[in-house]
C-alpha cells in the first residue's frame, strides 16, 4: 500500500529534490506524462491543485472508444490512434477497459441511413485493423425490439451493433499515477504552482502553495509542463488556444431507463446531436451536452478551476427531452435525476463554426519562458499524448544540459497496477480470476464483480482489510456494491486526502447513490481525521467542502 504518510513524504521530496520535469496538472494527460517520463528514467514531479482527476478527467462519458462519430468529420487519424490505444488498454488494463455492446438504431428519414451507418461501422472496424473486441453486425428491427424494448418503434429500420469499452475514468488516471510513483515519480495533490518563475543556471525555480498545509515553498526543475487541460490558457498567460465546451451527464435509476446491459446511441430531436445511454450497474448514465463555455452571459476570460462548472436546468431539460423521444415508455422527469456531473472539454480552437466539427486532436507547444504546454485530446489517447509530450520534453532537456542515458518509451506494453499477466486481450477481469482472494467471503455477485473490475489484482489488499475487520465488509448503500473497506483503502492506498476525493472519485457514491454519499460523509470524515491526524476544525472543513460540492451538482433544480 502507499500508506497514509505518502503525502508528507512526497511533499518533502518536492522541496529537497532537483527535478528534470515538473508536470502541472493531475488529470489524464498529466498522469500519462508523469508515468511515461518516470518509466524512462527522468526525475519527475507532478503537482495538482485539487484532487487527482478532479476536473474533466472524472467528468467524461467514461468510455474508451475510437469515436465513431468523428469519421463524419474526416478525423481518420484520430480514430485510428484512438482504436490503437483502446487495443493497448485491453492488454495493459483489462479491468479498466471493459468491452460493451453498443446499439445504434436507424430510423426512416433520419441521419444516418442504414447503409451509411453500416459503411461507417465497417470503416471503424477497418481502422481497428479488424481486431475489435467483438465483430460488429447489423440487426433487423425485430431483434432490436428484443434487445431494447423501450426504444421508439415508429420508423425503426434496424440497428448496427458494435463494441467499444467502458472505464472508470478517475481510476484510470489514478492507476497511471500509482504506476508513476512505482517508477520513482513524486506526485502531490493540493499543491498549486504559481505562474511566475526565476532562473538559476539551467534550472527553473517556481513557487508553490500547499493548499493542505497553507504554506509556500519552492520547487527546482529543468522544465515545466503545463497539463492543466481546460485551464491551460489561464495558466500559460498567453493568447487563447482553447475552445472549452461544457459536457453534462445525468444519472438515473436503471429501473427508470433499463438498458439490459447494452449502451444505446440516440440523437437529440432538437439539434441531431449524438448522445449515449450507458449502463452502470443499477444506474444508467445519459450524456452528453456540448455548449460553449462560458456562454453569452459568462465572464470573458479563460475558465478557472474555482469556477462553478455544473449542470444547468437547460442541460437537464435537453437531455431528458432527447431520452424521452428515444425511449417513449420512460417518461423521465427532473425528479428522476439522481445526480449530475459536468466537465469542460479542452478543445483546440481551430476557428470552426460548430462544436461537432472542432477536432479532439491535441496540440503541444512551447512559449517564450521555455515552458511546454499540451492541450486537447481525449481520455482514450492519454497514453499516446503522454509519450509524445515526453519525446518533446527530452529534446528540450537535452538542449538544457541533460546528458545521461534514458530508456525508450515503456508504456506501450507496461501493465497498470491492477492488471494481471494472466489476462489476455479482450478478456475481462472477472470474479472467478480472483476466487482465491474472495472465496472465503460471502459476497454477493455484484459486489465480487465490482471489486475485481475496480481493483483488478489489487483486490487482495481490499480483502485483507475485511479479513482484519469483518465490519468493513458491509455495504455502504443497499442498492450499490460499494463496501466500507473501500473507504479505508481510498485513504491508505489510493491517494485520497479529502471527503470529496473519497466519495466522488474513489468510491463514487456522489454520482450513483440516491443520497449522493451524504449519509456516509460523517463516517468518511471520521476515518480521514483518524488516519491523517486532523483536528476537529479540519474535519469539519472537509465535510463542508463535500456538502458544498453535492449542493453545486443540485443547483440546476433551482435554475
Q: Is the dihedral of CA 303, 251, 498, 220 positive or negative?
A: negative
Q: What does the pLDDT look like over 422-446, one tens digit per residue?
A: 544 334 444 344 444 566 677 889 9
The gap from C-alpha 474 to its chain's centroid, in whole angstroms, comes to 27
Which of residues 136 and 279 earns the better pLDDT score? 279
Write down all domains in the chain, each with its CATH number in brackets: 1-85+168-241+349-428 (3.50.50.60), 86-167+243-348 (3.30.9.10), 431-558 (1.10.8.870)
Per the CB < 8 A criterion, the answer to whether 65 and 132 are in contact is no
Cis preceding-peptide flag for 288 (omega within 30 of 0) = yes
- Whether the pLDDT of residue 355 is over 60: the answer is no
- Whether the pLDDT of residue 202 is over 50: the answer is yes
**Which pLDDT does position 432 carry in this prediction?**
41
Residue 272, exposed/middle/buried by CB under 10 A (0-12, 13-18, 19+)? exposed
**Which pLDDT does position 53 carry in this prediction?**
98
Among residues 1, 373, 384, the alpha carbon closest in space to that of 181 is found at 1
**Which pLDDT does position 498 carry in this prediction?**
98
Are β-strands 186-189 and 291-292 bridged in parallel, bridged antiparallel, or unpaired? unpaired
Average pLDDT over residues 331-335: 98
**Confidence bin at 274 (pLDDT 50/70/90):** very high
Average pLDDT over residues 510-520: 98
Per the CB < 8 A criterion, the answer to whether 57 and 379 are in contact is yes
pTM of the model: 0.94
- Whether the pLDDT of residue 299 is over 90: the answer is no
Which of residues 269 and 443 earns the better pLDDT score? 269
**Which pLDDT does position 405 carry in this prediction?**
97
**Confidence bin at 382 (pLDDT 50/70/90):** very high
Grid cell 474472495 is found at 438
Q: What does the pLDDT look like over 62-111, one tens digit per residue?
A: 999 998 888 888 888 999 999 999 999 999 999 999 999 999 999 999 99
Average pLDDT over residues 499-506: 98
Average pLDDT, the chain: 91
**Which pLDDT does position 431 carry in this prediction?**
38
Which residues does residue 348 pair with via DSSP β-bridges, in sequence order? Answer: 242
Average pLDDT over residues 264-291: 96
The gap from C-alpha 129 to its chain's centroid, in whole angstroms, comes to 26
- Whether the pLDDT of residue 465 is over 60: the answer is yes
What are the C-alpha distances in Å from 473 to residues 185, 368, 418, 448? 33, 55, 21, 11
**Which pLDDT does position 367 carry in this prediction?**
86
What are the C-alpha distances in Å from 34 to residues 29, 45, 57, 190? 9, 7, 15, 17
Per the CB < 8 A criterion, the answer to whether 175 and 96 are in contact is yes
**Confidence bin at 199 (pLDDT 50/70/90):** confident
Q: In the structure grid, which three cell numbers stand for residue 472, read together?
A: 468493513
**Confidence bin at 134 (pLDDT 50/70/90):** low
Which of residues 511 and 1 earns the better pLDDT score? 511
Gyration radius of the chain over CA positions: 23
**Which pLDDT does position 258 carry in this prediction?**
96
**Which pLDDT does position 71 carry in this prediction?**
86
The H-or-E segment that residue 363 falls in is: strand 362-366
- Whether the pLDDT of residue 186 is over 60: the answer is yes
**Which pLDDT does position 195 carry in this prediction?**
80
**Which pLDDT does position 394 carry in this prediction?**
98
Amino acid at each position: 500500500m502507499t500508506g497514509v504518510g505518502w503525502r508528507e513524504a512526497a511533499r518533502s521530496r518536492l522541496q529537497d529534490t532537483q527535478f528534470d520535469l515538473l508536470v502541472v496538472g493531475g488529470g489524464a494527460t498529466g498522469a500519462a506524462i508523469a508515468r511515461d517520463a518516470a518509466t524512462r528514467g527522468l526525475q519527475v514531479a507532478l503537482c495538482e491543485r485539487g484532487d487527482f482527476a478532479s476536473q474533466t478527467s472524472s467528468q467524461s462519458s467514461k468510455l474508451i472508444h475510437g469515436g465513431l462519430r468523428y469519421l463524419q468529420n474526416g478525423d481518420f487519424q484520430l480514430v485510428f490512434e484512438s482504436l490503437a490505444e483502446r487495443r493497448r488498454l485491453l492488454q495493459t488494463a483489462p479491468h479498466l477497459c471493459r468491452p460493451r455492446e453498443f446499439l445504434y438504431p436507424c430510423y426512416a428519414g433520419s441521419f444516418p441511413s442504414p447503409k451509411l451507418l453500416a459503411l461507417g461501422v465497417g470503416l471503424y472496424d477497418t481502422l481497428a485493423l479488424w481486431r475489435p473486441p467483438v465483430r460488429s453486425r447489423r440487426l433487423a428491427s425485430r431483434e432490436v425490439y428484443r434487445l431494447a424494448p423501450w426504444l421508439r418503434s415508429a420508423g425503426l429500420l434496424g440497428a448496427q451493433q458494435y463494441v467499444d469499452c467502458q472505464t472508470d475514468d478517475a481510476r484510470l488516471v489514478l492507476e497511471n499515477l500509482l504506476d508513476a510513483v512505482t517508477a520513482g515519480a513524486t506526485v502531490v495533490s493540493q499543491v498549486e504552482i504559481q505562474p511566475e518563475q526565476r532562473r538559476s543556471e539551467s534550472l527553473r525555480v517556481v513557487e508553490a502553495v500547499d493548499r493542505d498545509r497553507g504554506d509556500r515553498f519552492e520547487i527546482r526543475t529543468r522544465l515545466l509542463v503545463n497539463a492543466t487541460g481546460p485551464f491551460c490558457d489561464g495558466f500559460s498567460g498567453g493568447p487563447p488556444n482553447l475552445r472549452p465546451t461544457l459536457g453534462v451527464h445525468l444519472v438515473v435509476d436503471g429501473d427508470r431507463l433499463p438498458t439490459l446491459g447494452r449502451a444505446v446511441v440516440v440523437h437529440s430531436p432538437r439539434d441531431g446531436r449524438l448522445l449515449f445511454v450507458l449502463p452502470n450497474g443499477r444506474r444508467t448514465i445519459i450524456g452528453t451536452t456540448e455548449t460553449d463555455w462560458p456562454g453569452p452571459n459568462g465572464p470573458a476570460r479563460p475558465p478557472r478551476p474555482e469556477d462553478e462548472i455544473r449542470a444547468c436546468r437547460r442541460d437537464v431539460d435537453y437531455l431528458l427531452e432527447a431520452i424521452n423521444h428515444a425511449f417513449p415508455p420512460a417518461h423521465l422527469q427532473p425528479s428522476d435525476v439522481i445526480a449530475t456531473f459536468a466537465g469542460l472539454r479542452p478543445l483546440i480552437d481551430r476557428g470552426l463554426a460548430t462544436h461537432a466539427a472542432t477536432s479532439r486532436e491535441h496540440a503541444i507547444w512551447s512559449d517564450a519562458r521555455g515552458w511546454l504546454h499540451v492541450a486537447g485530446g481525449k481520455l482514450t489517447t492519454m497514453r499516446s499524448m503522454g509519450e509524445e509530450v515526453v519525446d518533446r520534453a527530452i529534446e528540450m532537456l537535452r538542449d538544457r544540459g541533460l546528458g545521461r542515458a534514458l530508456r525508450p518509451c515503456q508504456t506501450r506494453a507496461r501493465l497498470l497496477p491492477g492488471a494481471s499477466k494472466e489476462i489476455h486481450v479482450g478478456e475481462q477481469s472477472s470474479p472467478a480470476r480472483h476466487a482465491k482472494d474472495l472465496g472465503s467471503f460471502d459476497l454477493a455477485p455484484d459486489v465480487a464483480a465490482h471489486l475485481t473490475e475496480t481493483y483488478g489484482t489489487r483486490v487482495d489488499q481490499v480483502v485483507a482489510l475485511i479479513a482484519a475487520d469483518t465490519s468493513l465488509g458491509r455495504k455502504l448503500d443497499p442498492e450499490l456494491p460499494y463496501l466500507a473497506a473501500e473507504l479505508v483503502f481510498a485513504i491508505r492506498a489510493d491517494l485520497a486526502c479529502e471527503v470529496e476525493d473519497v466519495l466522488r472519485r474513489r468510491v463514487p457514491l456522489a454520482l450513483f447513490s440516491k443520497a449522493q454519499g451524504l449519509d456516509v460523509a460523517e463516517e468518511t470524515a471520521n476515518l480521514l481525521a483518524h488516519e491523517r491526524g486532523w483536528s476537529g476544525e479540519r474535519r469539519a472543513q472537509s465535510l463542508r467542502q463535500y456538502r458544498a460540492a453535492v449542493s453545486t451538482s443540485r443547483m440546476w433544480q433551482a435554475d
